[in-house]
Amino acid sequence: MAGVSVASVSRFINSPDKVRAETRERIRLAMQECNYRYNYVAKVFATQRTQTIGLVIPTITNTVFADSTRGLQDEATRRGYQVLMVNADYDPDAEGELVRHLLERQVDGLVITASDPHGAIAGELATAGIPAVFLYSTLSEGPVSSVGIDNERGGFDATAHLADLGHERIAMLAGSFTSSDRSRHRYDGYRRCLSERGLEFEPGLVVEIPYGLEHCREGVARLMEAAQPPTAIFASNDLMAIGVMGELRAFGLSVPRDVSVVGFDDVLMSSYVAPRLTTIRQPVYEMGRRAAQMVLDALDRGGQSVPRHLILDHELVVRESTASLRRA
């Protein structure tokens, strides 16, 4: 239509300076006239590269994942990559499914917040043949790279803060261990703190619930209707901590007067709720950025690289939801 070959059109699209101005104009006109639309799928098919990194997150409902995704997205965009995000709803089986799906879609790299980085997913990633990194998990070894914080120490620090305030009956409301190794590691830290402080561990003070605000009611009920209810609750993440505070109020209990609550993540919302939530801050934007960096760097090096395990610093942020124990 423009009287040129497809090669010239391709050049026009990808490096306009390689085609004469006059030809450029002819092509532009023809494109306009026939309402040309570039077919990205054909390009990917031809080049075998999508310039896309696949991202698997546990849920879209907890905004931490939105925040880390932003970091990942920014870094990817900066380096000419896109990100294809899918959520697994905290379901380990779905994770494998989604990874396969992303692989079929020819993503160039993968970052995943997995339920269990030691589970089946590890093998899946190992054979994928593209750079992959685990995000959020605490890993110090293994064939696939990772970036996260030390969740065990985070759990320890949260619990220690409560112990420092004089609490002895400290409960943990944990997101289900099978759907999150972070929850398990935070629990490990909780246990270690209890033992180091000489506090007795009571199985009844740990309740494991599925992730999500809507499951907090039952968890809080189990905790507070016991013969000896806790005076402080450590929740696996801020979302659930906010859920806990809501349910505590429904029980006629006041935070922090009757019970102290600490969360994990330091989601923006946590500075806005009443009372403002004490929590463990994770540098999530930075974590997302670093994860992208790792897969992009590997890609730059031709896909091959030694696995790295990056553990960033977390930080206790004391706000209004925790207070000294009032002795009866």
Partner DNA sequence: ATGAAAGCGCTAACAT
Partner DNA sequence: ATGTTAGCGCTTTCAT
Where on the chain is the footprint of a second copy (CB under 8 A)? 35, 37-42, 44-45, 50, 60-61, 63, 66-67, 69, 84-85, 101, 103-106, 127, 213-214, 216, 242-243, 245-247, 249, 268-269, 271-276
By CB under 7 A, tell whether 32 contacts DNA.
Answer: no
In the complex, the smallest distance separating the C-beta of residue 67 from a second copy, rounded to whole angstroms, is 8
Give 10 or 176: the residue with its C-beta nearer to DNA: 10
Stretch that binds DNA, among 43-51, 279-287, 293-301, 304-312 (CB under 7 A): 43-51
What tokens were used for 212? 């999500």
By CB under 7 A, tell whether 23 contacts DNA.
Answer: yes
Q: Which of 34, 46, 250, 274 binds DNA (CB under 7 A)?
A: 46
Give 19 or 99: the residue with its C-beta nearer to DNA: 19
Is there a contact between 309 and 146 (Cβ–Cβ < 8 Å)? yes
Look at residue 176 and give the partner it binds from DNA, a second copy, none, a contact being a CB closer than 5 to 8 Å depending on partner kind: none
**Within 10 Å of residue 286's Cβ, how many Cβ atoms?**
15
| Residue 296 DSSP code | H
What tokens were used for 157? 């620090």
What tokens were used for 164? 């420092």
What tokens were used for 15? 């490096």
Residue 111, Cα to own-chain centre: how many angstroms? Answer: 10
Look at residue 85 and give the partner it binds from a second copy, DNA, none, a contact being a CB closer than 5 to 8 Å depending on partner kind: a second copy
Give 22 or 200: the residue with its C-beta nearer to DNA: 22
Look at residue 306 and give the partner it binds from DNA, a second copy, none, a contact being a CB closer than 5 to 8 Å depending on partner kind: none
Measure the CA–CA gap between 238 and 264, rounded to whole angstroms.
5
| Residue 60 DSSP code | S
Which of 132, 111, 18 lies closest to 56, judged by CA? 111
In the complex, the smallest distance separating the C-beta of residue 305 from a second copy, rounded to whole angstroms, is 21
By CB under 7 A, tell whether 22 contacts DNA.
Answer: yes
Is there a contact between 49 and 60 (Cβ–Cβ < 8 Å)? no
Which of 75, 77, 102, 74 lies closest to 87, judged by CA? 102
AA letter at 13: I
Give 68 or 179: the residue with its C-beta nearer to a second copy: 68
Residues that bind DNA (CB under 7 A): 3-11, 13-14, 18-20, 22-23, 38-39, 42-43, 45-48
